[in-house]
Amino acid sequence: MLVTMKKLLARAKNNNCAVGAFSVGNMEMIMGVIKAAEEMNTPVIIQIAEKRLMNSPLELMAPMMVSAAKNAKVDVAVHLDHGLTEECISKALEYGFTSVMLDSSLKPFDENIALTRRIVEKASLYGATVESELGVVGGNEGDTEEHIITCTDPKMAEVFCNETRIDALAVAIGNAHGNYPVSPELRLDVLEQIYSRIDIPLVLHGGTGITEEMFRKCISLGIRKINIATAGFDGLSAYSKKYCDRTDKPDYFTLSAEMVNGVYENTKKHIKIFNNKEN
């Protein structure tokens, strides 16, 4: 069933867990995520970043994502990740996304507030949830540029949330998009300060490669949404390669099933951690 992200974040808070937000780039990825979520009877978020629309156009992805959510046996929110332009955010809302992220984290603070306010106003017309980012997450999300990490300032985060009335805040605590050279030691001290000042759910980007122990610590400090992109794409590629390597004549239908499987296994592994239960 298609639901707002806000509903899933509130549920995560009540259950002291986090909801997984899995990036998708084609039909097989959508199917793999939903299959895992249904099997584990756990709500999920499926998302796509604006920069990824170069490969996977919104006019094709959006109807598939929304339809998959509507037909799922569990609650699913459909989210625009790293929205960079108001135009793209508006289109996603028109297509029925139940959540959007504005990423103007590289803009000056006041400008970030002003832009975010506009999106909050627009999204409210659709009853959609809004996530925004403060500080700079490292790496890149489909961008050519590598960003240097700047941790979120807890005091500025408090002002930002009060001024914008967003529903969820993406924090920068040493996390980065893409594969880490080694699992990061995140700045839990910074997260703790943010959590003590802010009431709304917090979002952790750059989930690929973070250890189970670190995920659990982050959940205990208010992280309610965790983004996983690279691990899903890598899972799809690895399963596809393994299949192509073991046959002389790969056929599309088996390849497609392997793609679903690769994403399904990755999603299941992360949902299990994010549910934050002692086995």
List the catalytic residue out of 81, 153, 234, 245: 81
Per-residue binding string, ligand 13P, 42-81, x by CB under 6 A, is: -------x-------------------------------x
> Quick one: which of 187, 205, 224, 270 contacts ligand 13P (CB under 6 A)?
205
CB 81 to ligand 13P: min, Å: 5
- For residue 34, give the nearest of 8, 79, 1, 80 by alpha carbon: 1
Q: Output the smallest distance, CB 178 to ligand 13P, in A.
A: 5
**CA 209 → CA 153, 182, 270, distances in Å?**
24, 8, 11
Numbers of helices and strands, H then E, in the chain: 10, 8
Q: Which is nearer to ligand 13P, 4 or 230 (CB)?
A: 230
Active site includes 189?
A: no
In angstroms, give the least distance from the CB of 265 to ligand 13P.
15
Q: Tell me: does residue 105 bind ligand 13P (CB under 6 A).
A: no
How far apart CA 135 and CA 177 sit, in angstroms, is 14
C-alpha dihedral, 151 to 23 to 43 to 68, nearest 10°: 150
- Segment near ligand 13P (CB under 6 A), from 125-133, 144-152, 203-211, 254-262? 203-211
Question: Tokens standing for 152?
Answer: 């979120």
* Site for ligand 13P contains 177 (CB under 6 A): yes
Would you count residue 103 as binding ligand 13P (CB under 6 A)? no
Which C-beta is closer to ligand 13P: that of 167 or that of 243? 167
Q: Is 178 in the site for ligand 13P (CB under 6 A)?
A: yes
Say how many residues make up the chain.
279
CB of 141 to ligand 13P, least distance (A): 5
Nearest-CA neighbor of 190 among 166, 226, 155?
Answer: 155
Using CB under 6 A as the binding rule, whether residue 104 contacts ligand 13P is answered as no
Q: By C-alpha distance, which of 206, 210, 266 is closest to 236?
A: 266
Contact region with ligand 13P (CB under 6 A), list: 125-133, 146-154, 201-209, 260-268: 201-209
CB 63 within 8 A of CB 94: no
Q: What is the DSSP string of 9-31?
A: HHHHHHTT--EEEEE--SHHHHH
In the bound state with ligand 13P, the residue whose beta carbon lies nearer, of 99 and 243, is 99
| DSSP 3-state of 185 | coil
CA-based Rg of the chain, rounded to a whole angstrom? 18
Tell me which residues are annotated as active site: 81
Give the binding site for ligand 13P (CB under 6 A).
23, 49, 81-82, 141, 177-178, 205-208, 227-231
